[in-house]
Chain A
Amino acid sequence: MADFDTLRIRAGYDSSEHNYSVNVPIYQTAAFDLGSTDRADRIWTLEDDSAIYSRVGNPTVAVLEQRITQLSGAYGALALSSGMAAISYTILALTEYGGNIVAANSLYGGSEDSFSHFFPRFGANIKFVKDRFDPAAYEKEIDENTRGIYIESISNPNAEIYDIEELAKIAHKHAIPLIVDNTVATPYLLDPISYGADIVIYSATKALGGHGNVIGGIIVDSGHFRYSKSKFPQFYEVSYKLKDIKGNRRSPADVDEISPFLVHLRAFYLEFIGAALSPFDAYLILQGLDTISERVSKQSQNAEKIARFLEESGFVSWVNYPTAKSAKNKELAEKYLTKGFGGILSFGFEGTDEELNDFIQHLNYYSYHVNIGDVRSLIVNCARTTHAEMDASHLKRAGIAENTVRISAGLESADDLIFDLRSAFSKVAGLREIKLSGADLNDLDEIANLEITNFSAEKAASKAAFEYRLKNFPEWFITAKYEGEIIGLINAAPTDRDYITDDVYLSGGYYNKDGKSLFVYGLEVHPDFRHKGIADKLIRTLINKAKEAGKTRIALTCSEKLIPFYQAHGLQYNGISKSVIGDEASYDMSIDLK
């Protein structure tokens, strides 16, 4: 058998069967011509495995299934429209007629919630173990109705490792399969089957596909497990649907004694509950697989560097990564993960919710969203997003602290990723020293001084102008103070106008205390305090305050280089402004508040 790196590019595809197309064609079709009635009979009785109808089989999807099978050293695979479909079909098919599954008590949030609250409605009960690190704890939960043990090989989000080999032994002792969700590890880092796992599940949405452009899932059967008739009678029930060419009814086990599980899944679950993967999406996943080794090894390196940095940074309360100082089962990580430890890590953010929000906003090279395994680095506050299905008690049981932040490392430069984190942490830390407050006439001198420090004489607002504003609408001043001294400020006027054009600006009298809009005169920060996130904080605070006061719009004019800054805060670019103060082109920006 060829090596992994060859298989991931070539396995399961013979171009001579597809008009010599070098790339796998996208068979974007619902149905396939049956040819002759003889051929139709053979296909319907599974003598010929050609595709009939894409819900249950499609050549593009079949290449993906074959490729994963070979990459996994397995017997067969079934591709589905999502990782959750792969998980739910596996659990339901194994537990038909009232079985249960013994599962680790820290799993991906969707698995957690569906295992706890949803699948039991359909007769699949899940028994969560008390101590997921202790193999004996799994054995203790096994009873006569148990139909499998379920774990994640590298858990999401805490990157925990469990003893697959030991758990496989326990499962086999009780004649049940070990099911491993290998999504985070991918077949590149870990081959669970070689350690005794029987069924492997992937969300192909994650590092398997790797580009964050598709939702998909795969179930892999090692072919080693013998599903007994006593525990799995569903695989031995004869059905007319599985008849042979002579019309005799057969059971899934009659059709394929090695994997009646996959026959059952395809013939009943995929066929009737219908979570079919689109051929287009199968193609995207195949394309992703071409680079899986390079991607996942680089992502592992990046994650490990980030974990090191975080541990030494002093900014965080803990770091979870298979090689982190506090990681449990480090020896197991070394044993199972010889090519890298995966792209996922999590850490405890030290600070308030608001600071965590600021922190995420300050990052430039991490997207804030719920996926993992993408070529782009991603960050998310788990307890309130990906694992938000879980209430407080479940979170506690799964070891997910309220302040958990998960990172999925992408393929960017590790230096940039670390620099980005460092500067966001510094901004949050720096901001702790900064207090926001209002202003009144007593602050006039300090405010006028700040203005002169920041602007040339012809652009700076006069002291008289500030005096006027402080007298008439002090509530729209927000100042930032360091050790009691004003080092930044934003101020605005309530008005009914769309913009304050130069003529009214100079003449005054445009403001209306009850005006529905705010016009921002200026946002400024002392040069020694720039790039610390103070300006972000000022504009954000003003926007929130305006919303609370029931204002419907904020407008301002700014120089060209500040357009992206305001856009990042939700303001829209509306073109060149009529204002010519200071002889430099300026631009109108605004945001509608709802």
Chain B
Amino acid sequence: MSYKFDTVKVRGGYNAKEHNNSVGVPVYATAAFDFDGFDHFNNIRAGAQLGFLYSRVGNPTVAALEARVAQLDGGTAALAFASGMAALSNTLLAVTGGKGRILSTKQIYGGTFDLENDVFPSIGIEFDLIDHDSSIEEWAALIKEDTKAIFVESISNPSARLLDIEALAELAHKNGIPLVVDNTFATPYLFRPFEHGADIIIYSATKALNGHGNAIGGIVVEGKPFNWTEEKFPQFYKKHWVARDLDNNPRSFIEAFPQFPFTALLRTKYLAYFGASLSPYDAQLILIGIETLSERVSKQVANARKIVKYLDSRSDVVTWISYPEHKDSKYKALAEKYFPKGTGTVLTFGFKGNDDQINKLINSIQLFGFQANVGDARSLLINSPKTTHGELTPEELEAAQIKPDTIRLSLGLEDAEDLIADLDQAFAKAFEE
């Protein structure tokens, strides 16, 4: 029997009976696990028996988190990492197998953008970046022989742009490649990408998934296994000694783990050797955070809507508002189709002031935190172009359509009236002589 979302978020992936009846998920702060004997080791290794060998590649606390998120998204398996960037980079490396191209947009998270510029090309992975609002034909035109995946954000950071995920999934599949979706801003509460054709989902668990801003973590979720063809994705067909069966016959990841070959490859090679494993302590914090996911995000969405309304009333200081539900947004139709519960907790707006006045605004804010995170239970405010997207050159910022006057808000759980009052007084101070 499959439980509904709100039941899964507090119970999924965990069976107290397997953990001395502990109601809360224990923190397995251990590097290694005892074996009952060689057979026990061998069974676990070959996947013939559930169990754990060494916490770099698998840990019971982390496993509960992985199973819970997989269930929330309706996936087949999930794998946690030490950060969202680790989830993202390991996924893109594994999909390409170290060679090939990724098709993505110019308007994605600054860190991801830099990965594409500075790190991947030196190891043989190239990116083709397209303008976010391109037509599906324009997307199709950029798919090359060695393109191995389409990678997008379901709600983009920082400007909250939306895409037609179903059309992109169809395009990807027509070309025999998977659609990888960074669903960090949406969380599975607002959006479930597998239901719209995505094949792999990525989260920075640092953000709204956990929601308390107290842990760095990332998660990759695998949907129904994608049809990895041997000619494009030979990494799934190569026989590996590490994936050998009980009789020591080397197996490929497709043979050994047909339900979740991608997760198996990612765990056995990428997590094992790039070593970006999540601490069990942080896994527990994220599990606790997920237990209030729906309540938090729905309240944060409500706050975001109130703030949008307030900003609308302040055309004296606000030049534009980017939030998909906003009346001026070109993403209204997509918002209605894909995000019936709301389009997230982050919005940006243009502040009608010079650099000095922007600084004054930020330095006058009392309640909002001024920091480089989003999705926290506390509201945050930041001038993205100079901070979170500070890696981007002015030309890249322009290409990413991030205007210099951009202020990003991430709405928390405070009372909306207090947040509005804080903005009100800071707007006033920004223009004081």
A contacts, CB < 8 Å to B: 28-38, 40-41, 44, 52-55, 80-88, 92, 96-97, 110, 113-114, 118-119, 121-123, 205, 212-215, 217, 234, 239-241, 268-269, 271-278, 280-281, 284, 353, 356-357, 360-361, 367-371, 374, 378, 381, 384-385, 388-391, 570
Distance, CA A215 to CA B390, complexed state (A): 32
Q: How far is the CB of A439 from chain B (nearest CB, A)?
A: 27
B53 contact set on A, CB distance < 8 A:
369-370
Give the residue name and chain of the B residue nearest to A26 (CB).
Answer: B281
Distance, CA A36 to CA B98, complexed state (A): 42
A31 contact set on B, CB distance < 8 A:
213, 369, 371-373, 376, 380
Q: Does B215 lie within 8 Å of A278, measured CB to CB?
A: yes
Q: Which of B71-79, B117-125, B191-199, B311-319 contacts A (4 or more CB under 8 A)?
A: B117-125
B89 at the interface (CB under 8 A from A): yes
Q: Does B114 lie within 8 Å of A272, measured CB to CB?
A: yes
Which of A84, A87, A118, A274 lies in contact with B86, CB distance below 8 A? A274
Tell me if A's interface is mostly helix, strand, loop or mixed.
mixed
Q: Does B362 lie within 8 Å of A28, measured CB to CB?
A: no
B118 contact set on A, CB distance < 8 A:
239, 241, 268, 272
Q: Which of B9-17, B134-142, B174-182, B269-277 contacts A (4 or more CB under 8 A)?
A: B269-277
Q: How far is the CB of B361 from chain A (nearest CB, A)?
A: 9
Which of B98, B279, B371, B373 lies in contact with A122, CB distance below 8 A? B98
Distance, CA A35 to CA B382, complexed state (A): 11
If A30-B216, A30-B373, A52-B372 touch, does A122 touch B32 (CB 8 Å cutoff)?
Answer: no
Q: How far is the CB of A548 from chain B (nearest CB, A)?
A: 13
Distance, CA A269 to CA B383, complexed state (A): 25
Q: Does B276 lie within 8 Å of A53, measured CB to CB?
A: no
Q: Does A88 lie within 8 Å of B274, measured CB to CB?
A: yes
Q: Does B371 lie within 8 Å of A275, measured CB to CB?
A: no
9 pairs of A and B residues whose beta carbons are closest in the complex: A84-B275, A274-B85, A274-B86, A278-B279, A85-B275, A82-B275, A274-B83, A275-B276, A121-B98
Distance, CA A35 to CA B363, complexed state (A): 7
Q: How far is the CB of A260 from chain B (nearest CB, A)?
A: 14
Q: How far is the CB of A318 from chain B (nearest CB, A)?
A: 21
Q: What are 20 A-to-B residue pairs whose CB atoms are below 8 Å?
A: A30-B206, A81-B278, A82-B56, A82-B276, A82-B277, A84-B275, A110-B273, A113-B242, A118-B269, A122-B123, A215-B31, A240-B392, A274-B84, A274-B86, A275-B275, A278-B281, A278-B282, A280-B282, A368-B36, A369-B53
B contacts, CB < 8 Å to A: 29-39, 41-42, 45, 53-56, 81-90, 93, 97-99, 111, 114-115, 118-119, 122-124, 206, 213-216, 218, 241-242, 269, 272-279, 281-282, 285, 358-359, 362-363, 369-373, 376, 380, 382-383, 386-387, 390-393, 396
Q: Does B85 lie within 8 Å of A215, measured CB to CB?
A: no
Q: How far is the CB of B232 from chain A (nearest CB, A)?
A: 16
Distance, CA A569 to CA B385, complexed state (A): 63
Q: Does A370 lie within 8 Å of B32, measured CB to CB?
A: yes
Q: Does B83 lie within 8 Å of A275, measured CB to CB?
A: yes
B30 contact set on A, CB distance < 8 A:
212-213
Could you count the A-B residue pairs with CB atoms below 8 Å apart for me: how many are there? 233
Q: Does A34 lie within 8 Å of B371, measured CB to CB?
A: yes
Distance, CA A213 to CA B281, complexed state (A): 11
Q: Does B56 lie within 8 Å of A55, measured CB to CB?
A: no
Q: Does A274 lie within 8 Å of B276, measured CB to CB?
A: yes
Distance, CA A390 to CA B279, complexed state (A): 27
A96 contact set on B, CB distance < 8 A:
122-123
Distance, CA A16 to CA B103, complexed state (A): 50
A119 contact set on B, CB distance < 8 A:
273
Between A86, A119, A269, A275, the greatest number of chain B beta carbons within 10 A of the residue's beta carbon is seen for A275
Q: Known pairs A31-B373, A273-B89, A278-B216. 18 more at Cβ < 8 A?
A: A29-B213, A30-B213, A31-B372, A37-B383, A40-B386, A80-B275, A82-B56, A88-B273, A88-B275, A121-B99, A123-B98, A214-B31, A215-B31, A271-B114, A273-B85, A274-B81, A275-B86, A368-B37
B213 contact set on A, CB distance < 8 A:
29-31
If A84-B273, A85-B274 touch, does A274 touch B281 (CB 8 Å cutoff)?
Answer: no
Q: How far is the CB of A116 from chain B (nearest CB, A)?
A: 10
Q: Does A268 lie within 8 Å of B85, measured CB to CB?
A: no
B214 contact set on A, CB distance < 8 A:
28-30
Distance, CA A369 to CA B31, complexed state (A): 10
If A82-B275, A281-B279 touch, does A37 touch B85 (CB 8 Å cutoff)?
Answer: no
Q: Does A81 lie within 8 Å of B279, measured CB to CB?
A: yes
B275 contact set on A, CB distance < 8 A:
80-88, 217, 275
Distance, CA A564 to CA B183, complexed state (A): 50
Q: Does B359 lie within 8 Å of A37, measured CB to CB?
A: yes
Q: Does A41 lie within 8 Å of B279, measured CB to CB?
A: no
Q: Does B281 lie within 8 Å of A240, measured CB to CB?
A: no
Distance, CA A269 to CA B83, complexed state (A): 12
Distance, CA A389 to CA B243, complexed state (A): 9
B86 contact set on A, CB distance < 8 A:
81, 273-276
Distance, CA A138 to CA B251, complexed state (A): 34
